[in-house]
């Protein structure tokens, strides 16, 4: 159990939050009952209960289960055999209807920590998105200054704003690695603009570094009405409809693929400034789970786009069953 440090600027908020963290520590690490916590802190039992509840609600508590669960290990083996994967990790299931990321993100974080703790200097290419953004918040600080991190996709939205789900800076903070964002729009408006962006020295250098990466770590996007590319304004409704009509079921770093895991020969793919993966012999590890991600995950696995998968128990069973 780990208490997450929080930066506070409002002095009036420091004391209650500090008390909540202390109560949570006494409860989950110290093993004290609420009566004992109340006595230790000199407060009522009711307040002790509220403080522990607050610590949980505000994300001050992180849980890591070190013992592997047999059913999950069996699913990992089955997925490796079924799809020829080199790395699979399956997190235990949550209650029906829960957001899969609640359980998956804290489960994946220590796996990535072990990867970044490698003593051999490596280049890690990173995708973007809500999934990776949630995972990195659970990452502990590791010593990875000998590594390099590089973005696989641009970080500028169509309106010129920074992409909300850009994650390379947070990964760099957690690993102390040198990092190379792709400072360009996610996609160009036409071929001439694409040529211009990709010819910029810093973009050219980032693309070259990304293509040479030892490992890519990505999320995966669905192409339903909740498609991340559409919701975040990178696709119009007409483009989304056209991509689905062309057979698109999912995307990795903005590049759309069909149910066989083959990237579409489509103008949207042609306009992407970033790098399509896998590139050469680069292994691609994907973090993804849940019903909305299932068609995209199944297609990417069948198409051999992925070498590794971090998912949850429910999604793993669904992938194996069909």
What whole-number distance in Å separates Cα of residue 124 and Cα of residue 127?
Answer: 10
Q: Is residue 113 part of a domain?
A: yes
- Residue 4: what pLDDT? 46
- Give the orientation angle of helix 11-24 with respect to helix 34-41, to 10 degrees: 130
Domain that holds residue 50: 16-58
For residue 1, is it within any domain?
no
Cα–Cα distance measured from residue 140 to residue 222, given in angstroms and rounded to the nearest whole number: 29
Same domain, yes or no, for 28 and 137? no
* CATH number of the CATH domain containing 131: 3.40.50.1360
Q: Helix-strand-coil percent breakdown of the chain, rounded to 5?
A: 45, 20, 35
Residue 140 lies in a domain: yes
CB 313 within 8 Å of CB 249: no
Last residue of one domain, picked from the residues 35, 58, 81: 58
261: left (phi over 0), alpha (psi -120 to 50) or beta: left
How far is Cα 120 from Cα 143, in angstroms, rounded to an integer?
Answer: 12
- Residue 27 is predicted with a pLDDT of 87
Structure tokens at 246: 């062309």
**Structure confidence at residue 14 (pLDDT):** 37
User: Which residues of the chain are under the pLDDT cut of 50?
Assistant: 1-14
Other Cβ atoms closer than 10 A to 239: 16
User: Which of 25, 58, 91 lies at the terminal end of a domain, its last residue?
Assistant: 58
46 backbone dihedrals φ, ψ, rounded to 5°: -65, -40
User: Do 96 and 39 lie in a common domain?
Assistant: no
Q: Are strands 248-252 and 255-258 parallel, antiparallel or unpaired?
A: antiparallel
User: Is residue 295 assigned to a domain?
Assistant: yes
3 falls within a domain: no
Is residue 81 classed as helix, strand or coil in its secondary structure? helix
Query: What predicted TM-score, i.e. pTM, was given to this entire model?
Result: 0.84
Whether residue 107 sits in one domain with residue 49: no
In a domain, 120, yes or no: yes
The confidence score (pLDDT) of residue 7 equals 38
- How many domains does the chain fold into? 2
pLDDT for 15: 65
* Cβ pair 78, 309 in contact under 8 A: no
Please check whether residue 5 lies inside any domain of the structure.
no
Alpha-carbon torsion 290, 300, 83, 114, what sign? Answer: negative
* Residues 174 and 92 placed together within one structural domain of the fold: yes
Q: Are residues 41 and 148 in the same domain?
A: no
The answer to whether position 64 is within a domain reads no
d(Cα 285, Cα 301) in Å, to the nearest integer? Answer: 11
pLDDT tens string 43-59: 999 999 999 989 887 87
């Amino acid at each position: 159990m780990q208490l997450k440090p929080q930066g506070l600027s409002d002095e009036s908020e420091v004391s209650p939050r500090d008390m909540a963290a202390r109560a949570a520590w006494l409860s989950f690490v110290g093993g004290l009952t609420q009566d004992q916590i109340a006595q230790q802190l000199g407060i009522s039992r009711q307040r002790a209960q509220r403080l522990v509840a607050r610590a949980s609600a505000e994300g001050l508590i992180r849980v890591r289960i070190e013992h592997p669960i047999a059913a999950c290990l069996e699913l990992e083996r089955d997925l490796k055999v079924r799809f020829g994967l080199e790395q699979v990790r399956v997190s235990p299931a949550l209650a029906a209807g829960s957001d899969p990321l609640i359980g998956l993100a804290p489960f994946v974080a220590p796996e990535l920590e072990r990867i970044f703790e490698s003593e051999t200097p490596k280049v890690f290419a990173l995708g973007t998105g809500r999934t990776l953004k949630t995972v990195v918040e659970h990452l502990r600080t590791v010593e990875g200054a000998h590594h390099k991190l590089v973005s696989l996709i641009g970080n500028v939205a169509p309106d010129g704003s920074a992409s909300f789900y850009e994650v390379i800076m947070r990964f760099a903070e957690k690993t102390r690695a040198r990092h190379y964002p792709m400072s360009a729009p996610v996609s160009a408006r036409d071929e001439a603009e694409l040529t211009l962006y990709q010819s910029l020295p810093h973009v050219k250098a980032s693309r070259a570094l990304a293509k040479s990466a030892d490992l890519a770590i990505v999320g995966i996007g669905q192409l339903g009405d909740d498609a991340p590319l559409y919701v975040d304004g990178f696709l119009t409704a007409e483009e989304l409809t056209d991509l689905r009509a062309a057979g698109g079921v999912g995307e990795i770093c903005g590049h759309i693929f069909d149910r066989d895991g083959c990237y579409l020969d489509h103008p949207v793919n042609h306009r992407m400034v970033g790098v399509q993966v896998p590139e050469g012999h680069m292994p691609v590890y994907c973090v993804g789970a849940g019903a909305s991600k299932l068609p995209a995950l199944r297609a990417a696995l069948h198409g051999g786009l992925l070498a590794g998968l971090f998912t949850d128990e429910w999604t793993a069973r669904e992938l194996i069953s069909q």
